[in-house]
Amino acid sequence: MAFSLSSRSARCAALSSWLLLAGCAQFARPVAPVVPEADAVEAQIELDMAAAQEGVEAIDAPLSLHEALARGLKYNLDRRTKLLEEMIALGQYDVASLDMLPRLVAQSSYAWRSNDRTTRANPTIAEDKEHVLSDLSLSLNALDLGLGYYNTKQAADRTLIAVERRRRATQALLQDIRTAWWRAASAQQLQGELRLALTLGQEALTESRKEENERLRNPVDSLRYQRQVLENMRLLESVDQELSTAQVELAGLINVRPGRTVLLAENPATTVEAALAVPVEVMEEVALIQNADLREQRYNGRIARIETRKTLVRLFPNLQFSYGVKYDTDSYLLHHNWNEVGLQLSFNLFNLLTAPVQMRLADAGVALADQRRVASQMAVLTQVHLARMLLVNARKQFERADAIWDIDSRIAQHMVNRERASTGSKLERISQDTTSILSRLRRYQALSQLQAAQSRMEAAVGLEPRVDPLNTALPDLSRQLREGTNPWQQLVKPAAAPAPKAP
């Protein structure tokens, strides 16, 4: 009988070993790269395109600037990515806070042996051939508790860093939308004039070639006339090419399917007087507090200082307390269940050797964070002054471009009247139309640069719309952006009321 049991055990052990080796051999095989099938790729593309447009409201009216800004805040895919990164950082903070909890471990183990457990001194059976040991233990590690506390504080600061990065991305997004919207608006306004001027140019070119072939004019004069017309047409076509990409850029920023033409609303009135009315000293004070880059560096400095404290904690001895409830099915035991309490103190002696190096590294990290913060402060102050100068220059350029366009448009109207009265040539009208269109384009470009300069100024100071795109409907979000167009008003201190005169 004993031989039978032993043989059966040997066969079971051999079979188990064979299965284990076969499984290991299977997993040890190199995994060949798998190229996705075309059908699977196409299906994934369809799912991704549907996910990109999920929840995006259709554009059923001319798009205003504020609605474009609202759509960018609500539907822009890069902004959605930043929000997910912020959510992940918040999740890491929650996980780090849970690391401070004690460990509560429940485990159960099964043991089997082929023969009885006996000893030479006392040849009696001391343990069942098979039995189950179960225990529920609670352990608390002082070192893990301290490190978990500091890890939680660092995770909290990283969550705030994610918020500042989202703020910076939002400011850049609003600046890009403003620039793209004004470029698209200029393309929409100039499209009719461009097509008419190109048509007139083609007609003039055809007439001049006909006159050249019929010898009605001096050939040199005809060729010079044609060259001038072609030069004007080249300028007009370059303007058309420059503006043709504005719709695509705007569509990408507000998450509209590329290829669809978006009709824009009338141009809103724009002014930068409120921004320039704020004293530069006030801008500096606000920027040093609210600038996203500078706030991120402050959080990085706190993380570096906490890392120094973590280094100190690791140098202390480790104290671990444990309490467990155990149960064993071994029939030879007198007590099948019992409680255990343990207290363990340990210390890594090599910490005495590595402590100076670790402390120097931690101090160097703090010094680096402080230096980055100081550099960021000076950079922010430079950005504020530079952005204000650019805003002033952009306003001057816009005023000049607006005045030049007004004069060129009036001259162009006179050329039209002269052509109708047969006192002017078509070349003069085409040339002046080209000049007027270029002047109007430069006016729109100056207006776009003015908007971009104001956006850079807001980003440098740390101002952005205080809205909640995720939980606000698109019409309400557009209205909030329209009503809160002037973020500088809150920085202008009202003049103090005169003191009442004594009776």
| Each residue's pLDDT tens digit, 19-59 | 666 666 555 556 677 787 788 878 887 887 777 777 788 88
Nearest alpha-carbon partner for 182 in 440, 497, 434: 440
pLDDT at 501: 43
pLDDT at 30: 61
What's the chain's Rg over C-alpha atoms?
38
φ, ψ dihedrals at 187, nearest 5°: -65, -40
CA angle 407, 410, 416 (to 5 degrees): 140
Task: Kindly provide the b/e burial profile for residues 50-85, where b requires at least 16 CB atoms within 10 angstroms of the residue's own CB.
Answer: eeeeeeeeebeeebbbbbbbbbbbbbbeebeebeee
Residue range 226-273, pLDDT digits in tens: 888 788 788 878 877 777 788 888 888 888 887 788 888 876 666 777
DSSP H/E element including 112:
strand 103-112
pLDDT at 103: 79
Residue range 162-212, pLDDT digits in tens: 889 888 888 888 888 988 888 888 888 888 777 877 887 788 788 778 877
pLDDT at 423: 62
Cβ atoms of 360 and 311 within 8 Å: the answer is no
pLDDT at 382: 92
The mean pLDDT of the chain is 81
Cβ atoms of 409 and 442 within 8 Å: the answer is no
What secondary structure letter does DSSP report for 490? G
φ, ψ dihedrals at 95, nearest 5°: -65, -40
Residue range 361-413, pLDDT digits in tens: 888 989 999 999 999 899 999 999 999 999 999 999 989 988 988 888 888 78
Nearest alpha-carbon partner for 201 in 154, 242, 235: 235
CA angle 10, 13, 14 (to 5 degrees): 85
CATH number for domain 59-107+132-475, candidates 1.20.1600.10, 1.25.40.10, 1.10.540.10, 3.40.630.30 = 1.20.1600.10
Rounded to an integer, what distance in angstroms lies between the CA atom of residue 297 and that of residue 370? 8
Half-sphere exposure of 387 (CA within 13 A, CB side): 25
Lowest mean pLDDT across 74-88, 296-310, 488-502: 488-502
> Who wins on pLDDT, 305 or 487?
305
The predicted model gives 1-26 an average pLDDT of: 56
Half-sphere exposure of 90 (CA within 13 A, CB side): 7
Give residue 4's pLDDT band: very low, low, confident or very high (50, 70, 90): very low
Amino acid at 427: L
Query: With the CA atoms of 381, 383, 384 and 385 taken in that order, what torsion angle do they form, in degrees rounded to the nearest 10?
Result: 90
Residue range 139-166, pLDDT digits in tens: 888 888 888 889 889 988 988 998 898 8
pLDDT at 384: 92
The predicted model gives 263-288 an average pLDDT of: 82
Tell me how far the alpha carbon of residue 380 is from its chain's centroid: 20
Please check the confidence at residue 2 and state whether its pLDDT lies above 60.
Answer: no
Q: Where are the alpha helices (DSSP H) in 120-141?
A: none
Query: With the CA atoms of 286, 288, 294 and 300 taken in that order, what torsion angle do they form, in degrees rounded to the nearest 10?
Result: -120
Give residue 496's pLDDT band: very low, low, confident or very high (50, 70, 90): very low
Q: Which segment, 336-340, 417-421, 491-495, is predicted with the most confidence on average?
A: 336-340
pLDDT at 248: 87
Joined together, the tokens standing for residue 27 give 């997993």
- What pTM was estimated for this model as a whole? 0.74
Give residue 427's pLDDT band: very low, low, confident or very high (50, 70, 90): low
- Extents of the domains making up the chain: 59-107+132-475
Share of the chain above pLDDT 90, in %: 9
Rounded to an integer, what distance in angstroms lies between the CA atom of residue 112 and that of residue 130? 4
SS3 state of residue 59: coil
What secondary structure letter does DSSP report for 332? T
pLDDT at 296: 92
Cβ atoms of 181 and 189 within 8 Å: the answer is no
Residue range 334-365, pLDDT digits in tens: 888 989 898 888 888 888 888 888 888 888 98
Nearest alpha-carbon partner for 300 in 358, 364, 368, 375: 368
